[in-house]
Amino acid sequence: MVETNLVNPLLIHFCRELTIQLDSLSNSQATINPTEFAELIATATHEVLDAYVSGEFDLQAYRSSTTEEYKELAQKSIDSYAATNMKIGEITERHAELLGETTASALIDFGKISEKFSAIQDHLSDEVTRANDVIYTLLEQVKTLEMKTSLDPLTKAFNRYALQEHLKAVLEKEKLDFESFALMIDVDNFKLINDRFGHIAGDKVLIFIAKLLKKALRDGDRVYRFGGEEFIILLNRTDSAGAQLVAERLLNLCRNNKPLFQNQQIPVTLSIGLTKIIEGDTMDAIITRSDVALYRAKKNGKDRLEMEF
């Protein structure tokens, strides 16, 4: 049984998974039938449980790394709500005072009433605008906080922010500790997969590829989702020949293992661009070289490896 204090993080994780699935589906259709929705629920539940059981979703690290920042945002939200509530309360009291003045007078000064109502309306409008501005700012801060977490919510691979932080730490050293290589990987014909099988199938293909890549690598090697259907792998403590062997093994694994969606096997292949990380490198230079090699692999027929040193 999952401990009570772990339920909220798991529930949040489940909601994120479901949101991702719904967002993907909304790009291709306006409505969803009960069967499709049940499949989305099942997929989100499976991903959360799989992450928990495999240890990919580190609940303790999740809490310790984000709790204080989320507490701060929550406090800001509470303070903002309290201030808005107080301000609107003051405006309501002024409204009541105005009504009291009108009922106490035998003759009603419509000009005065109109002027006061206009002032009240302006104050209320200003307060609503201020509250909306605060909400927008808090939402942007939440987005920034989400970006700073290390895992891609769909594939559970490391995300682009984690890649930047890792490479920054490596490249800041005057001398590299060991030989390292970068593989840029692209899922071939991914748009056709989405068009033929749907966006839910496309998401499952990405999840499948990420799991395949992670299981095929050593503990010290890392898989990052760079964007869309592109992944980057950082290999360390190997040489050029070893890096090529890893890339070829990944190509073969992908050819020989097909993800299943609604009892249909989806054929998937990869194109890979390989480059070596050298002293004095920058992240942009590494990405550019590996991207050049990847483009060449695509141009030369896909389902292959190309290198750029």
Q: What is the Cα–Cα distance from 91 to 71, expressed in whole angstroms? A: 30
CB 231 within 8 A of CB 154: no
pLDDT value, residue 136: 66
Q: Where are the alpha helices (DSSP H) in 172-282?
A: 190-197, 199-216, 240-256
- Residue 242 has a CB neighbour count (10 Å cut-off) of 13
Task: Please give the helix or strand (H or E) that residue 128 lies within, else none.
Answer: helix 110-148
DSSP state of 154: T
* 87: three-class secondary structure by DSSP: helix
Strand stretches in 212-302, DSSP E? 222-227, 230-236, 260-261, 264-265, 270-277
Burial 152-178 (b: 16+ CB within 10 A, else e): bebbbbbbebbbeebbeebbeeeeeee
pLDDT value, residue 30: 67
- Residue 190 has a CB neighbour count (10 Å cut-off) of 17
Q: What is the Cα–Cα distance from 7 to 5, expressed in whole angstroms? A: 6
Between the two ends of the chain, the Cα-to-Cα distance in Å is 52
pLDDT value, residue 3: 43
CB 213 within 8 A of CB 223: yes
Q: What is the pLDDT along the chain (309 residues), one digit of tens a residue?
A: 444 444 455 666 677 667 766 666 666 666 766 666 767 777 777 666 666 655 555 555 555 555 555 556 555 655 665 566 566 556 656 655 655 555 555 455 556 656 665 666 666 666 666 766 766 676 666 666 655 678 888 898 999 988 988 888 888 887 777 889 999 999 999 999 999 999 899 999 999 999 999 988 887 788 999 989 999 999 988 899 999 999 999 999 999 999 988 888 999 999 999 999 998 899 999 999 999 999 999 999 999 999 998
CB 170 within 8 A of CB 280: no
pLDDT value, residue 251: 96
Active site residues: 229
Task: Tell me how far CA of residue 248 lies from CA of 5, 182, 216, 254, in angstroms.
Answer: 44, 14, 11, 10
pLDDT value, residue 274: 97
